[in-house]
Structure 1
Amino acid sequence: MKDVAEHAGVSVSTVSYVLNDSGPVAPDRRNRVLDAIRLLEYSPNESARSLKRRSASTIGLVIPELTNQFFAMVAEGVQKAASARDVLVVLVVPDAVEQAEESQGKLLRSQRVDGVIYLSGTGSMPASIYQLARSGPVVLVDEQIPGMDLPAVVCDSRKGAREVAAHVLDHGHRRLAIIGGPPALWTAQQRLAGYREALAGAGIDPDSVPVFAGTYRQASGAALAEQALAGPAGSRKTALLCANDLMAIGAIEYCKSAGLRVPEDVSIVGFDDMPISALLTPRLTSVRQPARDMGYRAATALFDLLESKESTVTGQLATTVQLRETVCPPDDAR
């Protein structure tokens, strides 16, 4: 900055005003400073600037994988909020490099990130991420972790699951199965609770409906659909409630391979409403979560915490059921 100031014939404080847009600078002086910055190829030390401003220069984002479009959209939301503040996002995807979250947490600590946005794939927090939470802010997104008093941006998964299950029940389905998510995850627990509430509201004993615990991956949905739909046609399940879109897509794939029509033989619903869900044949009925908004809000909450402001995280974001083509009445209700 001193070299820039000397070359432009101004004070260091004037250079600072131009760089941070933090004070009045005459047009001719501003132009001289900008010319000097270009000529000298000056790049501000973002870490030093962030310390002075009490704001972030680099944040970490941990997500389980990018093959799931929902996670990718959350990342887009985080990046949009960070770009508006000229903040660098260090993306950590444990599955992509076959490294545990523990190792990736250590990597983030070595990068000296100012804060972390964490989307758990396990329902727990690795010790290395916990250490980051002790030294700087950590905001959870799409999950809540028991015993961890951390701000979290989540959707009303329970309500969304209850509403999509009610839609299936309203079509007359009584032989159902649930393909749930990993039991340790808060989202999976909330969605299962919503399904069970809808069943009880329709006069069906929730304990009479089998639950198959999946992994939120497409192959899991296909394998569990095969189990759920085993048996003679007269007693086969007529509807599958899938806890995310990837497993619902896997279930549809299995049905096609087994010669079962969707929705005429088996109705299927998902959760997340990934962009691909509206492009399938048939188009998937699903519960929409505002993924990009969740990422944006999580990043905004993190920046507020870094700037010693009160967290903006309040309540749960709304979900909406997207009615499409994978639900129709079963044969005995037509």
Structure 2
Amino acid sequence: MKEVAEHAQVSLSTVSYVINNSGPVAPERRKRVLDAVRALEYSPNESARNLKRRSPSTVGLVVPQLTNQFFALVAEGVEKAASERDVLVVLVVPDAELPEDKQAQLLRRQRVDGVIYLSGTGSIPAAIYEIARYGPVVLVDEEIPGSGLPAIVSESRKGAREVAAHVLEQGHRQIAVLSGPLALWTARQRLAGYREAFAGAGLDPDSVPVHEGDYDEASGRQLAAEVLAADPRPTALICANDLLAIGAMEYCREAKLRVPEDVSVVGFDDLPLSAYLTPRLTTVRQPAHDMGYRAASALFDLLEGGEGGRIDELPVTVQIRESVSPPPGSA
């Protein structure tokens, strides 16, 4: 900035006013400063500026994977909120070589100002708790009971109850649930919502089989193959996310089972591709982008002295499409 001031023949404070848009500067002087900035290819040191303003400069974002469109949309929301504040997002995606605890240790060494955390295991590595000792941590899409950490989640239980009620209203009673990992809060919430709908329709919740898998297509295909081999065969599959549902629909095509004429299928998330499947998937829309944006905003509020520990639930809506119809022989 001193070089810019010398080049433009103005004071250092004038350069600061122009760069930070923090004070009045005559148009002619502003032009000289901007010309000097371009001529010298000056770029402000964001970390130094934010440190001086006591504002965050870098935050971490941990997501289980990016092949799941839901997580990618959450990440987009985080990035949008961060870009509005000139904050850098360090994205980490755990894998077999660098699992969650190792990635968390990397973030700790980077001394990020705070972390937005999407748990893929239903637990939090010790390194994340270490980060929480000097900077805030906000959970998104998962609440970790007993952690005391703030979380931005959706109305998973309500959405699950409503989509299951839609299946029941179509007349289905031979139903199977393809669940996500029950170590995850989201999976448990959705299962509770399904069971509430079963009980509300006079169906014994314990009589509906629950098959636990992972939140991915391969698991949906495998579970569908096992479930649909039963006699009597279920007439509806309630899947705890869209990837499970897509895998189940792929298996149905391979097995020459028509969706929804032979088997109805529902999902959860409303991934962008769900509306383009054949048939289009009935599912529960989660505001993934908004969840990411709100999580980042909550983190920035905490960094600026706001109160933590709150749990925010964002609304969901059931998207009724063509993958559900009355069970075979019900006409």
Query: Where does residue 302 of structure 2 map in the other structure?
Result: 305
Q: Is contact 1:237–1:266 with CA below 8 Å preserved after alignment? A: yes
Q: Percent identity?
A: 73
Query: Where does residue 25 of structure 1 map in the other structure?
Result: 25
User: Secondary structure of the equivalent of 2:270?
Assistant: coil
Q: Distance in 1 between matches of 2:309 and 2:105?
A: 28
Structure 2 residues without counterparts, runs of 5 or longer: none
Query: Where does residue 57 of structure 2 map in the other structure?
Result: 57
Q: Which moved more, 1:242-251 or 1:314-323?
A: 314-323
Q: Distance in 2 between matches of 1:205 and 1:312?
A: 36
Q: Distance in 1 between matches of 2:17 and 2:105?
A: 36
Q: Distance in 1 between matches of 2:44 and 2:194?
A: 53
User: Secondary structure of the equivalent of 1:37?
Assistant: helix
User: Secondary structure of the equivalent of 1:154?
Assistant: strand
Query: Where does residue 181 of structure 1 map in the other structure?
Result: 180
What amino acid does structure 1 have at the position aligned with 2:155? D
Q: Which moved more, 1:77-86 or 1:246-255?
A: 77-86
Query: Where does residue 225 of structure 1 map in the other structure?
Result: 224
Indicate yes or no: 2:292 matched with 1:315: no
Indicate yes or no: 2:246 matched with 1:249: yes
User: Secondary structure of the equivalent of 2:176?
Assistant: strand
Q: Any residues of structure 2 matched to 1:78-97 within 5 Å, and which?
A: 78-95=78-95
Cα displacement (A) at 1:314 = 5.9
Deviant stretches of 4+, over 4 Å: 310-314
The 1:98/1:218 distance shift into structure 2, 3 A limit, reads farther
User: Secondary structure of the equivalent of 1:108?
Assistant: helix
What amino acid does structure 2 have at the position aligned with 1:136? G
Cα-Cα RMSD: 1.5
Q: Which moved more, 1:290-299 or 1:306-315?
A: 306-315
Query: Where does residue 292 of structure 1 map in the other structure?
Result: 289
Cα displacement (A) at 1:315 = 3.3
Query: Where does residue 116 of structure 2 map in the other structure?
Result: 117
Q: Deviations over 1:184-230 (max 9, x none)?
A: 11100110000000000001111111111111011001101111111
Cα displacement (A) at 1:116 = 1.0
Query: Where does residue 105 of structure 1 map in the other structure?
Result: 104
Q: Is contact 1:164–1:269 with CA below 8 Å preserved after alignment? A: yes
Cα displacement (A) at 1:313 = 6.2
Residue 325 (structure 2) aligned to one of 314, 323, 328: 328
Structure 1 residues without counterparts, runs of 5 or longer: none
Q: Is contact 1:300–1:312 with CA below 8 Å preserved after alignment? A: no
Query: Where does residue 135 of structure 2 map in the other structure?
Result: 136
Query: Where does residue 162 of structure 1 map in the other structure?
Result: 161
Count of residues in correspondence between the two structures: 331
Q: Distance in 2 between matches of 1:241 and 1:305?
A: 38
Residue 239 (structure 1) aligned to one of 217, 236, 239: 236
Q: Is contact 1:304–1:312 with CA below 8 Å preserved after alignment? A: no
Q: Distance in 2 between matches of 1:6 and 1:304?
A: 38
What amino acid does structure 2 have at the position aligned with 1:166? A
Cα displacement (A) at 1:80 = 1.1
User: Secondary structure of the equivalent of 1:102?
Assistant: helix
Q: Is contact 1:269–1:285 with CA below 8 Å preserved after alignment? A: yes
Indicate yes or no: 2:265 matched with 1:263: no
Q: Deviations over 1:70-102 (max 9, x none)?
A: 00011111111111112111111113x742011
Give the TM-score taking structure 1 as reference length: 0.96
Q: Distance in 1 between matches of 2:278 and 2:53?
A: 52
Cα displacement (A) at 1:310 = 4.5
